[in-house]
Amino acid sequence: MMVRCGACRNQFEVPGAGRFACPVCGSVNVVRESAGTAPPNMGGYPTAPGVAGTPAPPPPPPVTAPLPRIECPECSFSFLVGDIAVATCPNCGAQVRTGLGSPEEE
């Protein structure tokens, strides 16, 4: 099987699992039975025992929608609001309906 040296990335043939010195740079590479290709560790040190299988990939970060920006009808100050129906203008303190959050009442 072909393995790739973790130090110099040279590929060389090995008969199977074991520890083999790279013919190019001399770094000892640990080859495991299950590892089809190059060992994931770099530098020839085996990974910690007891780690079975491949770890699950981390969940993707939560996608946060950009906050809507509204403009105060009193002072034309533009500011970001959250998911609320009525926001208070940070500039003049006016109560501004955002059209968001709970439905508007007539």
Instruction: List contacts with Zn ion (CB under 5 A).
Output: 5, 7-8, 10, 22, 24-25, 27, 72, 74-75, 77, 89, 91-92, 94
Pair type for strands 11-13 and 2-4: antiparallel
Residue closer to Zn ion by CB (options 17, 94) is 94
Per the CB < 8 A criterion, the answer to whether 32 and 44 are in contact is no
Residue closer to Zn ion by CB (options 47, 95) is 95
Residue closer to Zn ion by CB (options 15, 55) is 15
Cβ 53 to Zn ion, closest distance in Å?
28
* DSSP secondary structure letter of residue 69: E
Pair type for strands 95-97 and 28-31: unpaired
Residue closer to Zn ion by CB (options 21, 67) is 21
Cβ 25 to Zn ion, closest distance in Å?
3
Cβ 17 to Zn ion, closest distance in Å?
18
- DSSP string for residues in 5-31: -TTT--EEE-SSSEEEE-TTT--EEEE
* Helices of type H across the chain: none
Cβ 58 to Zn ion, closest distance in Å?
31
